[in-house]
Structure 1
């Protein structure tokens, strides 16, 4: 059964079960869950569409058939594409060996099917439910981490630039132009980005573009549309950037990670 984001969060976070899941069919009018936190850890899995999760340390993207893991107690917000189909898995603290930081996990078909079954089951014997939970948590703890995130800090100038780029990802302004907008020299901004994020300015901006590109492609946009939205002069230039960053073309990436 599909419930609203708020109701699912409240209901499952109060449960004492080691793991519990719910399906969310996102409507056009309810695409965002504002900042909140849970007692339990939460895995957000998308079978259709995409989700972006923001935490104090970064912005995280989950394409179809991956999941965002948010440890218990961590403040976060979620924004989904219209008509996304999501599954929320809540995990009791200490019930599984999962990361203590927010991350994107690549989910195996077994893990995906167990989460779907757990969310859709209505009347299952306790022994069967316990077996399913044990298998799911064991398998989930072995899933690999995907590097689909944008490092963020509480540095106000970087947050200003990140927000501006998120709102207009096609802005191709140079480092010098961005520096002027936040009243810094070009070298000072370059050093600030490197110190705060561990990335060069160009790599940091590219990571944001990858997040937006995967989100848009997951929602059904064409490669041509995404290339234009990100300000690339040609589709081939966008595909080259994507391939260098992720090791494969946009179409193949979605085929592989789309199951």
Structure 2
């Protein structure tokens, strides 16, 4: 059941809107699987982060699956939506536009360092409707750490064409599906050639590459939860653990274990 934006964002979150004097604030809510924050935007930037759980963030015509060791930077005025995939402790950070840690209108996937996580946990202990010297100090430390955060190229672009939308939505829901582009063409009412053209025109990549991005996005929270790589590979449609690991290394330049080594 979708959470009312009028209630949740306009009333509760706007009470915590950042200001030049208080450039970083926090809001928070514990959400259940299938809860959703409907598309909305605000004049401040947002670091979408969950202490626990997994969520899907949609913005910039793209989708990201976000486990606790990742966060999404969403610039000011960018419309975004959140779907909760597992029970989630959502703890977004609101950043005044003048103190945005990254330039430009594009979202960024951030690594959440141990230090950044502990700073967020410390900030949460304070009353968010008041301001103290310690809160101000924690806010400045968080802003500094955000600007130093490594970014990761985990992004799934989304299409506008309704036929391609149907295909992409089905694959996001079941990334291990082994259907070929020809199989999907029969399901969505378009020829294989038309779908191939649409992938290149709207998403800037072929069907196989896009499906690979979807599978990588789904792999991140599974690996973060400690799921054995063999099970990750099987669930996402790879013939073996080595095939999955090879694809992962080709994309990110390191093995899955090295990629998540910073925890």
Instruction: Normalising by structure 1, report the TM-score.
Output: 0.82
- Superposed CA offset, 1:66-121 (max 9, x none): 21112233222212342333321011222334242222122333333322222222
Partner-residue secondary structure (3-state), 2:248: helix
Unpaired segments of 5 or more residues in structure 2? none
Partner of 1:250: 256
User: Is 1:5–1:24's contact at 8 Å kept on the other side of the alignment?
Assistant: no
Q: How many residues align?
A: 253
Tell me, in whole angstroms, the C-alpha distance in 2 between the residues paired with 1:249 and 1:13: 42
Matches within 5 A, 1:140-179: 140-179=146-185
Instruction: Normalising by structure 2, report the TM-score.
Output: 0.81
- Correspondent of 1:120 among 108, 117, 125: 125
Tell me, in whole angstroms, the C-alpha distance in 2 between the residues paired with 1:47 and 1:248: 26
Partner of 2:95: 91
User: Is 1:49–1:83's contact at 8 Å kept on the other side of the alignment?
Assistant: yes
User: Is 2:69–2:224's contact at 8 Å kept on the other side of the alignment?
Assistant: no
Unpaired segments of 5 or more residues in structure 1? none
After superposing the two structures, state which structure 1 stretch, 135-144 or 203-212, moved more.
135-144
Partner of 2:235: 229
Partner-residue secondary structure (3-state), 1:195: helix
Partner of 1:104: 109
Tell me, in whole angstroms, the C-alpha distance in 1 between the residues paired with 2:116 and 2:224: 20
Tell me, in whole angstroms, the C-alpha distance in 2 between the residues paired with 1:87 and 1:216: 21
Moved over 6 A (4+): 4-8
User: Is 2:163–2:190's contact at 8 Å kept on the other side of the alignment?
Assistant: no
Change in Cα spacing, 1:155 to 1:94, as seen in structure 2 (3 Å) is: farther
Change in Cα spacing, 1:208 to 1:193, as seen in structure 2 (3 Å) is: same
Post-superposition offset of 1:208: 0.6
Partner of 1:211: 217
After superposing the two structures, state which structure 1 stretch, 8-17 or 225-234, moved more.
8-17
Post-superposition offset of 1:53: 0.4
Tell me, in whole angstroms, the C-alpha distance in 2 between the residues paired with 1:56 and 1:156: 17
Matches within 5 A, 1:171-210: 171-210=177-216
